[in-house]
Amino acid sequence: MSEEFDMDSLPDIDQAEVSDTELIKSIDYTRPLKDYATAKDVADYLKGRRGIKDIDLSSLSINGRVVQDDMEVYLQDPAYNSGTLKEALKSPLHLFFERESGWKQELEKVQKEKSYFSLGTFIHACLLEPERFSTITVEPEANRATTEGMNTLVSFWEDKIILRGGMINGNHEDGHTVIETARYYVEDSGRSMEKIDGKRLYYESLKELSGLQSVTADQKIIIDAVKFNFNRYGGGILPELMKGVKTEVSMYYTDPVTGLDVRIRLDGLQLAENIGHNTVISVKSTACESLGHFYYHSAKLCYELSEGMYLDVAEAVTGRPFTCTIMLMVQTVPPFGVAALVWNAEDLEIGKYKYRQALQIVADCEASRKYPGYDIHAESGNLGFIDMKQPEWNAKELYPTDVDD
């Protein structure tokens, strides 16, 4: 054990040595497990729901801030989020790499690649706002390096915009207004519509103002499959579930125990007036091929810490009891299925426990300005050397193989 770091000030973060049963017995629940919603509770409420009440987000800012801000604004805020806290649970060194060293940011600058369209991100948005399913289109194949090719693409987008209009500064406008705006962009740039660089800018402007999402033919097939599965799941319950949901909601809060500023970004927020329980809705796109694989994946990536933190912070900020987490899983691999998963009460309590533990680790590291690595698991006096033992599941009996039989 490091002689310079007081491990007594840190919680036990070696979760691999603790079984689920032992962990559950060792923590104090924040509320009775029966207070949490079950799948039956959610279903029964939706079966009898009468109308939707609009959520006034400004009324929820009781002990912090609740806003629908841009993702860029949220990401630039220095408050701690669940991703950083998960790193702290791994080791103080992980926290140092994430927040203090500057190495992560330098790596991202070097490794970052431009991504013009992410299928998983688009499908994620469609589940939160199902009307987006109808915004996809497949543009014709054309050579953008030739005048003929650009004329083909320009005609395609002009026809689309004349038929359905487009979006200017977040407002829907008629097709002629949108086309004139795109032409103005070209003129304002000093380029000519008669030359290919002007045509290319005109094409890009039309595409941007159309309000449509251009996808490839194979991407459209996948999105259509997800849309089909989304609309038919549970007899059509998912579009009903999303009615009245506020999407991409940020909450900012100062934890009174540690004094740390924290932030959360909810995919969806639904209040008890609309679903019976104040609810966090999380969307996860996954390449997992089965529900069992996804459950394993969720534990591996410590989803419970994120979901526990969301409930804890949302309750503190709004003054309302948050007792339900619904996770919408969508596959990005065949058969592109979806599932509505209501989180187990014990798993959420374990997540809250891990959130509090991670916060304390961060607070202790910030106070001491020390961020030890895996050597904290070594016995005192062993100079960082750790006695290694493989997990018990690896010590299985091997049956003899009769090669001759």
How would you class 127 by CB atoms within 10 Å of its CB: exposed for 0-12, middle for 13-18, buried for 19 or more?
buried
Q: What is the pLDDT of residue 4?
A: 43
Helices (H), 165-247: 175-188, 196-209, 217-232, 237-241
For the stretch 97-143, pLDDT in tens is 998 888 877 887 787 655 556 888 899 999 999 999 999 999 999 99
Handedness of CA 313, 124, 87, 343 (dihedral sign): positive
CA–CA separation, 288 and 329 (whole Å) = 10
Q: Which domains does the chain have, with CATH numbers?
A: 7-107+236-368 (3.90.320), 119-227 (no CATH)
Residue type at 357? Q
Neighbours of 174 (CB within 10 A): 12
CA–CA separation, 405 and 78 (whole Å) = 66
Q: What is the pLDDT of residue 397?
A: 79
Q: What are the CA-CA distances from residue 195 to residues 94, 141, 143, 150, 178 (Å)?
A: 53, 20, 15, 10, 21
Strand 213-214 versus strand 278-286 pairing type: unpaired
Strand 338-342 versus strand 65-67 pairing type: unpaired
Residue type at 294? F
| pLDDT in 10s for each residue of the chain, 405 residues | 333 444 444 444 444 444 555 666 678 899 999 999 999 999 999 999 989 999 899 999 999 999 999 999 999 999 999 999 999 999 999 999 998 888 877 887 787 655 556 888 899 999 999 999 999 999 999 999 999 999 999 999 999 999 999 999 989 999 999 999 999 999 999 999 899 999 999 999 999 999 999 999 999 999 999 999 999 999 999 999 999 999 999 999 999 999 999 999 999 999 999 999 999 999 999 999 999 999 999 999 999 999 999 999 999 999 999 999 999 999 999 999 999 999 999 999 999 999 999 999 999 999 999 999 998 889 999 999 999 999 888 888 778 877 776
CA 325 to chain centre: 14
Start-to-end CA span in the chain (Å): 54
Q: What is the pLDDT of residue 7?
A: 41
pTM: 0.84
Neighbours of 339 (CB within 10 A): 17
Q: What is the pLDDT of residue 106?
A: 82
For the stretch 166-215, pLDDT in tens is 999 989 999 999 999 999 999 999 999 899 999 999 999 999 999 999 99
Copy the structure tokens of residue 224: 């259509």
